[in-house]
Amino acid sequence: MNAMATTDLHYLGLVEVGQQIQRKKLSPVEVTKAVLERIGQLDGKLKSYAHVMADAALAAAAAAEKEIASGKIKGPLHGVPIAIKDLCWVKSAPAAHGMTIHRDFRPSEDATVVARLKDAGAVILGKLQQTEGAYADHHPQIDPPKNPWNADLWSGASSSGSGVATAAGLCFGSLGTDTGGSIRFPSAANGITGLKPTWGRVSRYGAFELAATLDHIGPMARSAVDCGAMLSVVAGQDPKDTTSVPLPVPDYLAGLSGDLRGVTIGVDRRWTSEGTDEAASKVLAEGLRVAADLGAKIRDITFPDPKAVIEDWFPLCGIEVAVAHEATYPARKDEYGPALAGLLDLGRQQSGMDYQKIVLRREAFRGAVRLLFETVDLIAVPAQAFAAPTLAKMAALGEDASLIAGLLRFTCPFDMTGSPTVTLPGGFAANGGPVAFQFVGRHFEEASLVRAGDAFQRVTDWHKRHPGI
């Protein structure tokens, strides 16, 4: 499908629609009704929602309208319809985690990130579809979300519903999670912006685990500014998650200058080009050119060899997933799909010595990446080595080691380090699918990623292009 420029309500930016709502130029009830109507028209085909919460959304929109009318404005998300990846608990709503085992689960409380969004006045439209257990494939009994640009293209994993719904104008922003690349893959595949925060920046309380020390919850929206607005709300220490870090949360929308003067961006030209296809390489090169035009200094660096940590990601993830699923696996193995079951079996096969070796290699790699940030402010990398993959290509993932390595090459190293990244749409492949690149930042410097993404998006329009649906 061809990219379309539009000013339709459903494609307004999250911050922009919030401003119009809060200035009483738009009604949150009417906006919510319009998006729910669009979901009704399109999602039968796109399959992005696991559960639509129409009544609750309209009630929240009506409450927001009353609050705004009385002059009580809670911030940029007040009255804005958004959606939540299914693994994050919303009180009394289904939270299946992409699995049949949990299809009847209704949490008795909100996840911390959901509670914070509600406190900020956001209107929650519903729960978004995801892969089984937030791993690689959708459960065999679940119809996967369809890429709105082209149904033959991959929609990403595991936050596929978040990517599809945000790209198709079925919400103004969404929450995703990233353990090996699952904010970045669907952001790239669907042509939206995704912000993976530093591990520990956002509470994981009330979210089903895939792998505890690798899981990151973060915003997915249509611009870096919109992601920054969402992150300002959900980030911060949470006593219910003692791994959340007690650092102040900045206003990520403050002080955005539109330029990159004083910013040094590192790039390992060998690592980012070897085995990377033409479309992915071209988008990264163009991103660097724009950054230089905006005042950034581009510096050649040598990135530490990530081969070992990419290989280690699988058994480490498997070990942590085995802990998360201990109550149901292998006791209910016949209810699991083959991909998640295979990962669980891999994890359960590891010894204590295997695990310790992985931990030591991970810490060494994390330290080497930290040293790089003593000389640069950001690192630029592709989103993945091959751009806009088809479903047919991804069907061979389990049989092609080079395909798996290319998929994870520029994502899972930054889950192993816990580094923050922003994924920015930067072009299209020959098959019409969106292509993206990433900036990676220092721990807890998400503000630098919002600044860089905003500067890039002020002078480009890739993020303003939408699928012709």
Residues annotated as catalytic (active site), given as ranges: 85, 158, 182
Q: How far apart are CA 217 and CA 26, in angstroms?
A: 30
Give, as one character, the DSSP assignment of residue 241.
Answer: B
Q: How far apart are CA 457 and CA 451, in angstroms?
A: 10
Q: Give me the residue label for tokens 């992601």.
A: 227
Give, as one character, the DSSP assignment of residue 463.
Answer: G
Give, as one character, the DSSP assignment of residue 335.
Answer: G
SS3 246: coil
Residue 75 amino acid letter: G
Give yes or no for a cis peptide into 273 (omega within 30° of 0): no
Of 118, 110, 124, 113, give the one whose Cα is nearest residue 58. 124
Rounded to whole angstroms, the maximal C-alpha distance in the chain is 62
CA-angle at 81, arms to 79 and 87, nearest 5°: 125
Let me know how many helices (H) and strands (E) the chain has, helices first: 16, 13
Contact indicator for 372, 303 with CB cutoff of 8 Å: yes
Element spanning 154, H or E? none
Of 75, 82, 73, give the one whose Cα is nearest residue 32. 82
Of 352, 353, 340, 276, give the one whose Cα is nearest residue 314. 340
Q: Look at the chain and count its residues.
A: 469
Of 130, 122, 129, give the one whose Cα is nearest residue 56. 122
